[in-house]
Amino acid sequence: MIKYGLILSLLFFPLFMTGCTGYHQDIDQLAIVSAMGVDKAANGQYRVSFQVINSSQIASTKTGGGGGKSVPVVVYTDTGKTLIEAIRKASQQVTKRLYFSHQQGVIIEEKVARAGLKDVFDILERNIQQRLQLNVLIARRGTAEDILKVLIPTEMLPGSRVGEALKTSSRVLGETLESNVRDVVHGLTDDGIEPAISGIELIGKDEQGQSMSNLQESRPVAYTRINGIALFRDGKLQKWMEGNTARGAVTLLDRLKNTVVNINCGDKKDALAIEITHARTKLGADMNKGKPVLTVQMAFLGNVYEADCPIQLNDQETIDRLQHRLEREMKREVLSAVKTAQKEKCDIFGFGETLHRSQPQRWKTIRNRWNPIFSKAEVRVRAKAIIDHAGLRFDPFWSSK
Amino acid sequence: MPKYQKWFRRWFNNPKQQEDSQEKQSSVELLPVYPSIQDNLTFLKNAFGHSSDLQIQELTIGKSPTVRIGIAYIDSLVNADKVMTLIKDLLGKELTQPNETHPHSHVRDWIKENLTVVGDMKEIRDWNRVSKMLLSGHTVVFVDGTNQAVSGDTSSVEHRAVTEPKTQIATKGPNEGFTESLRTNISLIRKRIKSPNLRVKKKPIGQVTRTDVALLYMEGIANPKVVKEVKKRLENINTDKILDTGEIGEWIEDQKFTLFPTLVSYERPDSIVSHLAEGRVAILVDGTPYAIAVPVTFLKILQSAEDYFMRYDLASVLRLLRIVAFMISLYGSAMYIALTAFHQEMLPTSLLISIGAQRQGVPFPVMVEALLMEGTFEILREAAVRAPRALGQPLAIMGAVVIGETAVVAGLVSPIMVIVVAITGISSYVAPEAAVTITSRILRFGFMLISGVFGLYGILLVTIAMVAHMQSLRSFGVPYLAPISPLVWSDLKDSVVRLPHWMLSNRPHELKPQRLWRIKYKVGDRVEYDD
């Protein structure tokens, strides 16, 4: 009996040892931060900006009651040696308590990224309010603060726009990466892999973009664009990849969801568009007589999306040819991405990690000089593409006789 | 402590005083009947305190040997026609030649043999029986010169006709409900169980009311130990009045201090019959249309009679729905408080913004707001139940307009709070048993308070305590959470879900019935019913 009592009480006490209590905060006393920006200030300080949601404004617009009277978000800025210092100092301006759990994105100025990301990410990973799924972006043109200040008509929450826009462009175009805090920290800490982060740029006059007048233009004077992928080495930004090279990088990371690839059609250049609906990539790394060999295996499933040339799409041979061309095109893009990365000695694809997993003993001997080894490695790419249909018709309507 | 005990004894448990009063009353009743009718009738009048509805007539019957007889009945309990026929019969018939030795006892025998117009003739020797017979509507005939009386059933008590049940409404299945008459109620059960093994044991309970309480069970199915236990507990009831099964329930419950009902009352004879067939014991009380079934488990209480009449798949879905609704009614408002005051990260962003905007300008913290709204809702609900029917409409309007609309417009509460209160309020009524509804209504406030202090963590702590408490409950020795805990796989067929009837071959194990299998099969033979 005593024994059972002891066991029961031992099971009972852990109930009171959790850390899940004592965070009472009423919902209306929170300043919900939708996005955060980190810029470099003078004398080595950080300049941190928060986009805080003006919830009554957003809710009243939703119900259709007028709206548009005041701005949907407010941006607060302050500087500090550490990020938390800046955050706490900003509370002098904000009436409510800053609440980070619903943040949609963190924007980091390119200057900060070039100087090194490690300091910025500690707080993002350590703070209990922060989510690891938080999207990370690098501000390419304009400061993070300016980007946060831009209001655009279709989105009530510019902060959530950052996350949504990144998601949409990554899933439709495939030239940007949805990298979140977890990915970045993984890239920063693990051997044999480096982080890769997409960029965001501010286009137009930022001064006007910050006022409500921007919301009344059918063509906003200022807007933001997600563009490019930044390559890092040792947590420092090295180079930007854009366009097809960026898509190659996304393919290599096995993060390609959906994209459209143009291939030549007879003599006409880039006249046929193929939509890739499924893509799968497998990386391999091996050491061959002291020299590393990197292998890439890719498989694509696609369909003909647009054909601007006379072509017989009901013919299997034509389809075979198109599949072959698609494979070649994708190989070219992937190779260009690998070459760029090799030139910068930035193994963002994690070939080193693959090698670590397959040959842990060998890895120990080369881990310290992996980046130079990677840059000289031989790359072999194999691709297999299948085009399974051509939409609602075979030939273009004008070519049928 | 001793002071407190003294006080407690004086108020609740004063055995000395009780014994005194008991002696006073019963000593009168146990006297034997006098041989002279004059004495008898005088005594009777005094015993009933010259009550105006006690009717007494003296008659002389027979011609050559005449005999004086006295007739007594209570006006308000008898059928006047029956009494008239009885008297006519007595006057009209010729007496046979008397026995020389005992002329008067001869008359008594003659009355017993010849009076067939009324049923249930009985001999009575003591005043206890006399008063009892009179009070149950019999007419008592005293014969001069004998110390025995004869009583005949002339009762006719006003009661409702059998109608649809008022509370336990079903869209499918039998629609008869119990009435206030015990006889009718037993007949409603008897006509559904055509087996001699249905046992009915009656016993009057209550010193003042002497209400008939009937115990029903199936011999050969019900666990004899449970039957014995129920009998014992019924005998131990020590009260002056019994008007409803609810009063019986409080006396015989296992655990007196719990919010969870450990016995259920039913208004439907078909529910009681299905319980009897599974091996439970039913308790019926004269004067109330509600009957108790024991022992019951928590899952059994959440089931409705309809579950057995509609297709098993639909019934299973409805049972799951009911359990979900019970959870919502328990946790709904508490979850809302926890999410908005502690765990905002668990809400979708747009919902968070919407709630945040709605709560702007609300003067109270979430918990106070929720308690206010739930409290108002409870008051409104109670008022709606008690108010005269004519007031129902204005009450509904006041509730809907004042609470739903104006309170929001005035900025006292947020609209989403009204939604939460409405959902939890409606969910609590999905439970088919009113007792469970009240349980969830009360527990809800506990959950709201703890979630306002500790958030989800507090809800979890109280849930653990609640489940532990439920685990400790017993209904006549049957674990309350059976068949889930203790787990009996074969009983899960009829618990949260209900499998088709042809798969429910055994009675619930937790009841320990005498015959576990509902039906006895013989290989290669017809199905033989086991009863």
Q: Which of A36, A384, A367 is nearest to A190 (CA)?
A: A367
Q: How much is the average pLDDT of B398-423?
A: 85
CB contact under 8 A, B353 and A53: yes
In this prediction, residue A239 carries a pLDDT of 92
| Contact in structure between B338 and B204 (CB atoms under 8 Å) | no
Chain-wide mean pLDDT for chain A? 86
Of the candidate ranges A96-105, B47-56, B100-109, B402-411, the one whose mean pLDDT is the lowest: B100-109
In the three-class reduction of DSSP (H, G, I as helix; E, B as strand; rest coil), residue A386 is classed as strand
CB contact under 8 A, A21 and B458: yes
Q: How much is the average pLDDT of A134-162?
A: 82
Of the candidate ranges A28-32, B124-128, B413-417, B447-451, the one whose mean pLDDT is the lowest: B124-128
Q: Give the count of alpha carbons within 13 A of A359, CB side only.
A: 15
- Whether residue B244 sits in one domain with residue B388: no
Cα maximum dimension of chain B:
106
Q: How much is the average pLDDT of B90-113?
A: 67
Burial A120-133 (b: 16+ CB within 10 A, else e): bbebbeeeeebbee
Among candidates A15, A56, A99 on the partner chain, residue whose Cβ is nearest the Cβ of B360 = A56
- Whether residue B394 sits in one domain with residue B330: yes
Q: How much is the average pLDDT of B304-316?
A: 90
Q: Which of B305, B301, B334, B306 is nearest to B453 (CA)?
A: B334
In this prediction, residue A196 carries a pLDDT of 92
CB contact under 8 A, B349 and A32: yes
Q: Which of A13, A20, A27, A134 to mutate to probe the B interface, most B CBs <10 Å?
A: A27
- How close does chain A come to B341, measured CA to CA in Å? 4
- Asked if the structure places residue B119 within a domain, the reply is yes
Q: Give the count of alpha carbons within 13 A of B224, CB side only.
A: 3
In this prediction, residue B26 carries a pLDDT of 46
Domain residue ranges in chain A = 29-241, 243-401
CB contact under 8 A, B358 and A59: yes
Give the domain range for residue B190: 182-296
- Whether residue B323 sits in one domain with residue B283: no
In B, minimum Cα distance to A52 occurs at B353
Q: Which of B39, B207, B241, B13 is nearest to B128 (CA)?
A: B207
- Whether residue B143 sits in one domain with residue B74: yes
CB contact under 8 A, A30 and B344: yes
Tell me which chain B residues have a C-beta less than 8 angstroms from the C-beta of A32. Answer: 349, 352-353, 356
Tokens 């003659």 correspond to: B110
Residue B472's contacts (CB-CB under 8 Å, 6 or more residues apart) are B255
Tell me which chain B residues have a C-beta less than 8 angstroms from the C-beta of A21. Answer: 454-455, 457-458
In this prediction, residue B314 carries a pLDDT of 93
pLDDT class of B146 with cuts at 50, 70, 90: confident
Residue B200's contacts (CB-CB under 8 Å, 6 or more residues apart) are B186, B214, B215, B216
Tell me which chain B residues have a C-beta less than 8 angstroms from the C-beta of A26. Answer: 340-341, 359, 365-366
CB contact under 8 A, B366 and A56: no
pLDDT per residue over B64-76, tens digit each?
A: 667 788 888 988 8
pLDDT class of A21 with cuts at 50, 70, 90: low
Contacts across the A-B interface (CB distance below 8 Å):
72
pLDDT reading at B33 higher than 70: yes
Q: How much is the average pLDDT of A72-79?
A: 89
Which of the listed residues B270, B296, B322 is the one where a domain comes to its end?
B296
pLDDT per residue over A302-313, tens digit each?
A: 999 988 888 888
- Asked if the structure places residue B163 within a domain, the reply is no
Which of the two residues, B4 and A276, has the higher pLDDT score? A276
Tell me which chain B residues have a C-beta less than 8 angstroms from the C-beta of A105. Answer: none
Tell me which chain B residues have a C-beta less than 8 angstroms from the C-beta of A129. Answer: 345
Q: How much is the average pLDDT of B148-177?
A: 83
C-alpha angle B411-B414-B417 in degrees, rounded to nearest 5: 145
Q: How much is the average pLDDT of B347-369?
A: 87
| Contact in structure between A198 and A179 (CB atoms under 8 Å) | yes
- Whether residue B451 sits in one domain with residue B325: yes
pLDDT reading at B157 higher than 90: no
Give DSSP secondary structure letters for B157-201: ---PPP---SSS--SSS------S-HHHHHHHHHTT---TTEEEE
In A, minimum Cα distance to B458 occurs at A21
Residues of B within an 8 Å Cβ radius of A: 340-342, 344-345, 349, 352-360, 362, 365-366, 454-458, 461, 464
Tell me which chain B residues have a C-beta less than 8 angstroms from the C-beta of A55. Answer: 353-354, 356-357, 360
CB contact under 8 A, B357 and A58: yes
- Asked if the structure places residue B168 within a domain, the reply is no
- Whether residue B438 sits in one domain with residue B337: yes
pLDDT reading at B285 higher than 90: yes
- Whether residue B468 sits in one domain with residue B370: yes
In this prediction, residue B445 carries a pLDDT of 94
Tell me which chain A residues have a C-beta less than 8 angstroms from the C-beta of B417. Answer: none
Q: How much is the average pLDDT of A138-145?
A: 89
pLDDT per residue over A184-205, tens digit each?
A: 999 998 888 999 999 998 888 7
- Whether residue B208 sits in one domain with residue B68: no
CB contact under 8 A, A25 and B341: yes
Residues of A within an 8 Å Cβ radius of B: 15, 18, 20-21, 23-28, 30, 32, 34, 53, 55-56, 58-60, 62, 99, 101-102, 104, 129, 131, 157, 160
- How close does chain A come to B479, measured CA to CA in Å? 20
Tell me which chain B residues have a C-beta less than 8 angstroms from the C-beta of A15. Answer: 461, 464
Q: What percent of chain B has pLDDT over 90?
A: 32
In this prediction, residue A65 carries a pLDDT of 44
- Asked if the structure places residue B201 within a domain, the reply is yes
Distance CA A34, CA A104 (A): 6
Crossing angle of helices B415-427 and B366-386, rounded to 10°:
50
- Whether residue B128 sits in one domain with residue B215: no
Tokens 């006895």 correspond to: B520
Give how many domains chain B has, as a whole number: 3
Which of the listed residues B153, B170, B192 is the one where a domain comes to its end?
B153
- Whether residue B347 sits in one domain with residue B439: yes
| Contact in structure between B430 and B302 (CB atoms under 8 Å) | no
pLDDT reading at A98 higher than 60: yes
In B, minimum Cα distance to A31 occurs at B356
| Contact in structure between B99 and B115 (CB atoms under 8 Å) | no
In the three-class reduction of DSSP (H, G, I as helix; E, B as strand; rest coil), residue B212 is classed as strand
Tokens 């014995």 correspond to: B228
- Whether residue B462 sits in one domain with residue B376: yes
The edge-to-edge listing of strands for the beta sheet with B138-143 is B54-61, B67-74, B138-143, B149-153, B119-124
If one counts every other C-beta atom within 10 angstroms of the C-beta of residue A225, the result is 14
- Asked if the structure places residue B25 within a domain, the reply is no
CB contact under 8 A, B356 and A32: yes
CB contact under 8 A, A27 and B366: yes
Count of residues in chain A: 401
pLDDT reading at B8 higher than 70: no
Q: How much is the average pLDDT of B317-344?
A: 93
pLDDT reading at A163 higher than 90: no
Domain at A243-401: CATH code: 3.30.300.210
Residue B158's contacts (CB-CB under 8 Å, 6 or more residues apart) are none
Q: What percent of chain B has pLDDT over 70?
A: 87
Which of the listed residues B153, B170, B193 is the one where a domain comes to its end?
B153
Q: Which of B344, B360, B416 to mutate to probe the A interface, most A CBs <10 Å?
A: B344
pLDDT reading at A66 higher than 50: no
- Whether residue B356 sits in one domain with residue B280: no
Of the candidate ranges A53-67, A230-244, A330-344, B358-372, the one whose mean pLDDT is the lowest: A53-67
pLDDT class of B63 with cuts at 50, 70, 90: low
Tell me which chain A residues have a C-beta less than 8 angstroms from the C-beta of B345. Answer: 101-102, 129, 131
pLDDT class of B391 with cuts at 50, 70, 90: confident
Which of the two residues, A116 and B23, has the higher pLDDT score? A116
In B, minimum Cα distance to A17 occurs at B457
In this prediction, residue B27 carries a pLDDT of 45
CB contact under 8 A, A21 and B365: no
pLDDT reading at A274 higher than 90: yes
- Asked if the structure places residue B411 within a domain, the reply is yes
In this prediction, residue B318 carries a pLDDT of 92
In this prediction, residue B170 carries a pLDDT of 81
pLDDT class of A67 with cuts at 50, 70, 90: very low
In this prediction, residue B522 carries a pLDDT of 53
Give DSSP secondary structure letters for A40-109: E-GGG-EEEEEEEE-HHHHHHHHTTSS--SS-SEEEEEEEESSHHHHHHHHTTT-SSEEE-TT--EEEEE
Is the ipTM beyond the 0.85 threshold?
no
pLDDT class of B530 with cuts at 50, 70, 90: low
In B, minimum Cα distance to A156 occurs at B350
pLDDT reading at B121 higher than 90: no
Tell me which chain A residues have a C-beta less than 8 angstroms from the C-beta of B342. Answer: 23-25
Distance CA B240, CA B256 (A): 20
In B, minimum Cα distance to A23 occurs at B342
Chain-wide mean pLDDT for chain B? 84
Of the candidate ranges B280-289, B310-319, B406-415, the one whose mean pLDDT is the lowest: B406-415
Q: How much is the average pLDDT of A134-139?
A: 92
